[in-house]
Amino acid sequence: METIDTLINARWVIPVEPDCEAKDHHSIAIKGGRVIGLFPTSEAKQRYEAEEVIDRPRHAVMPGLVNAHTHAAMSLLRGLADDLPLMNWLKGHIWPAESRWVSAEFVADGTELAIAEMLRGGTTCFSDMYFFPDVVARTASRLGIRVCAGLIVLDFPSAWADSPDEYLSKGLELHDEYKAHPLVTTAFAPHAPYTVGDQPLERLRKLSDELDAPVHVHLHETAEEIRQSQERYGERPIERFHRLGLISPLLAAVHMTQLEEADLASIVEARSNVVHCPESNLKLASGLCPVARLLKAGINVALGTDGAASNNDLDMIGEMRTAALIGKLAADSAEALSARDVLRMATLNGARTLGLGEETGSLVPGKWADAICIDLARLNTEPVYDPVSQIVYAASRDQVVDVWVGGHRLLADGVLERLDEGAVLERTRSWQRLISESPER
């Protein structure tokens, strides 16, 4: 018998790859932080002697969820300015609050709050776009969660940098610092077409090509964004990005609610990635991303929550359900965007978008053991005819009982192993008091 670190015996295992079908009474063998085998439980017990054996008799084990777009530290601004359209929300409330409050300490505390919420909900990897990405990377590394830290770029100054050149310079330093890290990767993160000019985008594109690094950007989020681009540049944002060489397989285009046939053709030809954030789009009335059409065209579509200031949570299980339901409505077909489609969007597709498809996103031998366990023995998820459908359409994030990242158990029987929830909540409430009592608010 081979000695391994962990053997998880589950009622169902959903490896996602090669398909999203659930395997009955299967086990996952973990050694050195990676999956080394997936077998029927009866066979696994004969093959392996594990230092830790975990039995989950009415549970589904699946890859950890990949939140392909968020602004983690904005969790501290959750509920600050609800029920407003995007540009009013940004210019009238969020940007002024960020100008007043964002600091390394703010980002550290907000990111820790977000990570606690994400781990409890089964997210094992997230892509972040915010100020102080060095703090985000350091916090995620310390807490054991996987992160793609966005190297933010803007035309205007912030607490993080004063100019596009300084944003890029600091970003490159961070990329070099973490280029061999097991948990932290980086992506260039120009905020949006309306906040970054051609010159920094051209430089960023050259750096992205040289480093083979993803480019993560809000793109075609609202009709107003399209109008502004046509007014300023005489072309739609996707046309402008194509001219600048940014429409490529390295692009992760977030939102994409305003698509014409030429836009779609450009994305398909370049094999770019799209990140769908359905709940944020609904709340800000930004529009509907035509996900079923994108998937049919062969585009890799991932799923993200956006930030908690516009969602207002980081619940990827809830996001899957919303994506499936509005995807059917948008396509006018109950068969569009199945439970399996959105489960893949929330796992393997997200990993591929972040350039991590060979390392995480599915439970196959050789990949990191980034896994979660969902208890389906609850009133709202019994009886279980199809575990995949039950997770997408009936389960809630409080049914996530265990989380592993790289084989390390970060949530054990519902208890966070590396976070003091009481301390996180106290720091969060301190920020709430400070921000709400400020006369500038």
> Residue 20's Cα: distance from chain center in Å?
19
Q: Which residues pair with 303 in a beta bridge?
A: 276
**Taking a C-beta distance cutoff of 8 angstroms, is the pair 330, 291 a contact?**
yes
Note the CATH architecture for domain 65-353: Alpha-Beta Barrel (3.20)
Q: How many other C-beta atoms are found inside a 10 Å radius of the C-beta of residue 203? A: 15
pLDDT tens-digit map of 91-103: 899 989 999 999 9
DSSP helix/strand/coil, 61? strand
Peptide bond into 133 cis (omega under 30): no
Burial level of 384, CB count in 10 A (0-12/13-18/19+)?
A: middle
Tokens of 25: 């009474």
pLDDT tens-digit map of 158-183: 999 999 999 999 999 999 999 999 99
Query: pLDDT category, 440, cuts 50, 70, 90?
Result: low
**Domain boundaries in the chain?**
2-62+371-406, 65-353
Query: pLDDT category, 52, cuts 50, 70, 90?
Result: very high
Q: What does pLDDT average to over the chain?
A: 97
Percent over 70 (pLDDT), the chain: 99
Tokens of 138: 């350091």
Q: Which of the 8 DSSP states describes residue 77?
A: G
- Please tell me the CATH superfamily of domain 2-62+371-406, with its number: Urease, subunit C, domain 1 (2.30.40.10)
Q: What global pTM score does this model have?
A: 0.97
Query: pLDDT category, 9, cuts 50, 70, 90?
Result: very high
Kindly write down the DSSP assignment for every residue of 277-323, as one continuous string. -HHHHHHTT-----HHHHHHTT-EEEE----TTTSS---HHHHHHHH
pLDDT tens-digit map of 350-385: 999 999 999 999 999 999 999 999 999 999 999 999
Tokens of 298: 């062969």
| The pLDDT of residue 439 is above 70 | no
The C-alpha atoms of residue 381 and residue 292 are separated, in whole angstroms, by 26
DSSP helix/strand/coil, 211? helix
Residue with tokens 């392996």: 48
Query: pLDDT category, 86, cuts 50, 70, 90?
Result: confident
State residue 204's pLDDT score: 97
Query: pLDDT category, 423, cuts 50, 70, 90?
Result: very high
pLDDT tens-digit map of 237-269: 999 999 999 999 999 999 999 999 999 999 999
